[in-house]
Amino acid sequence: MIHDLSETICAPATALGGGLAVIRISGSLAPQIAERLLGKRLTPREATTAGLRIDGQLIDLVVATYFAAPHSYTGEEVVELSCHASPYIVRSILEWIAQQEGCRMADPGEFTRRALAHGKLDLAEAEAVADLIAATTATQHKMAMEQHTGRLSHLLNELRATLLRFAGLLELELDFSEEDVAFADRSTLVETLATIQHQLRLLTQSFSTGQELQQGIPTAIIGAPNVGKSSLLNALLQHERAIVSDIPGTTRDTVEGRLTIRGTLFRLIDTAGLRQTTDLVEQLGIERSYQQISSARLILWVIAPPLPTWDELEAQLSEILRLTSPESTLMLLLNKRDLLTEREVTDWLSNCSSLLQRTNGKPHTTSPLAISARAAQGIETLEELMVTSTQTLHSDEETVMLYNLRHYEALTKASRALELVSEGLHNGLTSDLITPYLREAIEEIGLVTGASITSDEVLGFIFSHFCIGK
């Protein structure tokens, strides 16, 4: 698909439903089109109320806003018509505009694509528009907003500029190689390179966290059979759903579920349980839960009466330590508290506290908590704990979070290329052998922001994920 910027494009900028609809027109013909529909000339940045007529027939009373180029979203002449959201009105107006000479309906994401073409935003900022629209939680919104306002682009532009200078120096050295002059001071180069590699590494490492925040923080519910793992999963899911709507308490045995607690998305996994078995099928289930446990960020370890002996508890803990990542957070939950006296609860909690100290912070632990999954007791406190213990994942204002796979892949390739550069410098290779890798790294970084030439095909793919009208 060839993107002809000379055509004027139009599309509904709002989804169906609601009282009003906005029709966006972008391109050199936009002001004339509007003048013909409204019988009035528009003044830039002024909202104009007018009757909209097609073939003399009054279709609607609309509010029109004219953004003169280049001070518009696309950087082109833009008119936005705010009309009543009747499908008939919207369709009539769009069909009429699309029939005019030099006009057509916009493809998904085409307005943003034009904004990119006119330098109103770069590629990473443009991609974030789609993410911003798709964001359903506060965290997703925050990550998309940061990328949209250029934090990632800014960092990458700096890295790229440094690498370009670096490449320039190396090439100078290349030119003078006959006289055997090492023009660029290699130790400075090595240092600069190390700094850049470090920054790239921070970014690529943030990808897994970024993905987790985007798709839900992996949370494994583990414990012996019958302690109430499934009941806990359902209690958490129902508690959150109850806030949204009153779904009658259906007791489904979910194995996995997502829920948002105060803006943070969690992906809960009910695992097969901790126990030794000789049964092959059960063994497979357990293998699978082991994998899920090792990649979980949060571990909800459930115990319940009849309470395990101290030895059993120790054995479970060492199993957990063996399986979990030291980066995760372990929460011990004493379930079925309704079956225990206050005294028993207090004793057990203090026993568990001292047991948990053995982890030495690897994984992190929180204070043990007594709950009742069946009576939905302590669920709110648990949720509170889940949110605060994952806060560190995204409260760091300094680091830019990578969550887009395309960006991750490009920056991983850049990192690999820079490793070869670094090796080359270390082994005293001449610049002509090093420069190609440096160029590759620069190119890959530029792919993220769109600074490197990006083919029409690649752009088409990226923008195909957009909705119409953006």
d(CA 79, CA 99): 17
Contact 368, 317 (CB under 8 A): no
Contacting ligand GDP within 315-344 (CB under 6 A): 335-336, 338-339
| Residue 230 or 454 having the CB closest to Zn ion | 230
> Phi and psi of 252, rounded to 5°?
-100, 150
* List 92, 230, 325, 366, residue binding Zn ion (CB under 5 A): 230
231 belongs to an annotated ligand binding site: yes
Out of 228, 257, 363, 446, the only residue in the binding site for ligand GDP (CB under 6 A) is 228
Residue 277 sits in the site that holds ligand GDP (CB under 6 A)? no
Task: CB nearer to Zn ion: give 177 or 230.
Answer: 230
Query: Using CB distances below 5 to 8 A depending on partner kind, what does residue 374 bind out of ligand GDP, Zn ion, none?
Result: ligand GDP
The 258-287 site mask, x for binding Zn ion (CB under 5 A), equals: ------------------------------
Q: How far, CA to CA in Å, does 49 sit from each of 28, 43, 93, 104?
A: 22, 12, 16, 25
In sequence order, the β-bridge partners of residue 76 are none
Burial class (CB in 10 A: 0-12, 13-18, 19+), 80: buried
Strands (E), 74-177: 78-84, 103-105
Which residue lies nearer to ligand GDP by CB, 14 or 377? 377
* Contact partner at residue 228 from ligand GDP, Zn ion, none, CB < 5 to 8 Å by partner kind: ligand GDP
Residue closer to ligand GDP by CB (options 231, 289) is 231
Containing H/E element for 316? helix 310-323
397 backbone dihedrals φ, ψ, rounded to 5°: -75, -20
Q: Residue 408 CA to chain centroid, in angstroms?
A: 12
Report the distance separating Cα 232 and Cα 376, nearest Å.
8
225 touches ligand GDP by CB under 6 A: yes
The annotation status of 387 as a binding-site residue, yes or no, is no
Q: What are phi and psi of 159, to 5 degrees?
A: -60, -45
Q: Which stretch binds ligand GDP (CB under 6 A): 12-20, 228-236, 259-267, 398-406?
A: 228-236
Rounded to a whole number of angstroms, the minimum distance from the CB of residue 338 to Zn ion is 19
Query: Is 257 a binder of ligand GDP (CB under 6 A)?
Result: no
Q: Which of residues 349-388 bind ligand GDP (CB under 6 A)?
A: 372-375
Angle of helix 138-148 relative to helix 151-175, nearest 10 degrees, comes to 40
Number of residues forming the site for Zn ion (CB under 5 A): 2
- Do the beta carbons of residue 388 and residue 367 sit within 8 Å? no
Q: Which is nearer to Zn ion, 139 or 231 (CB)?
A: 231
* Helix, strand, coil share of the chain (percent; to 5): 50, 15, 30
In whole angstroms, how far apart are CA 397 and each of 142, 145, 387? 11, 13, 18
- Site stretch for ligand GDP (CB under 6 A), options 14-22, 172-180, 218-226, 450-458: 218-226
Q: Least separation, in Å, of the C-beta of 306 and ligand GDP?
A: 12
Stretch in the footprint of Zn ion (CB under 5 A) among 181-189, 206-214, 229-237, 304-312 = 229-237
How far is Cα 142 from Cα 444, in angstroms, rounded to an integer? 25
- Which helix H or strand E contains 191, and what residues bound it? helix 186-215
Q: Is 249 annotated as a binding residue?
A: yes
Closest CA to 441 of 199, 131, 245, 179: 199
- Using CB under 6 A, count the residues that bind ligand GDP: 16
Amino acid identity, residue 244? Answer: V
Least CB distance to ligand GDP at residue 383 (A): 16
Site residues (vs Zn ion, CB under 5 A):
229-230
Residues that constitute the known binding site for GTP: 226-231, 245-251, 270-273, 372-374
Residues that constitute the known binding site for K(+): 226, 245, 247, 250
Residues that constitute the known binding site: 24, 80, 120, 226-231, 245-251, 270-273, 372-374, 470
Site residues (vs ligand GDP, CB under 6 A):
223, 225-231, 335-336, 338-339, 372-375
